[in-house]
């Protein structure tokens, strides 16, 4: 996603048959909270011709409340926790696994 010829965000995904995995979504910090993440996700979910019944999976840091609220507002449901999914130099963090089934 670009704004005034400057990249402010991106989304990476993998699609195999009827399963789409959102691998990474990022928006530059000064542009967070402006709706760009929602626009990226809406583009992915509406503009790419995905078959009915496609399951869309993602993981989100347990502490990332704004992202969790965004995903829930788009219809994603929490289905599990991945312990120590995110690994940093001096700590780890659990991830919440979420899914959305397209109808």
3-state secondary structure 37-92: HHHHHHHHHHHCCCCCCCEEEEEEECCCHHHHHHHHHCCCEEEEEEEEEEECCCCE
What is the total count of domains within the chain? Answer: 1
pLDDT of residue 74: 95
Active site residue 71: yes
CATH number at residue 47: 3.40.630.30
Q: What is the mean pLDDT of residues 88-101?
A: 96
| Beta-strand relationship, 55-61 and 19-27 | parallel
Could you say which of 71, 78, 88, 93 is catalytic?
71
Active site residue 59: yes
Say whether pLDDT at 2 is over 70: no
* Domain extent for 97: 2-101
Please state the pTM of the whole predicted model: 0.88
Query: pLDDT digit string (tens) for 6-62?
Result: 889 999 999 998 899 999 999 999 999 999 999 999 999 888 888 888 999 999 999
Say whether pLDDT at 4 is over 80: no
pLDDT of residue 3: 65
């Amino acid at each position: 996603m670009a704004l005034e010829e400057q990249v402010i965000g991106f989304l990476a995904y993998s699609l195999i048959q009827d399963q789409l995995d959102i691998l990474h979504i990022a928006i530059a910090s000064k542009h967070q909270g402006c709706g760009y993440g929602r626009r990226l996700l809406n583009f992915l979910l509406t503009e790419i011709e995905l078959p009915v019944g496609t399951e869309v999976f993602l993981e989100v840091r347990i502490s990332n409340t704004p992202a969790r609220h965004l995903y829930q507002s788009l219809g994603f449901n929490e289905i599990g926790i991945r312990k120590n999914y995110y690994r940093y130099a001096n700590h780890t963090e659990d991830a919440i696994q979420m899914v959305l089934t397209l109808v």
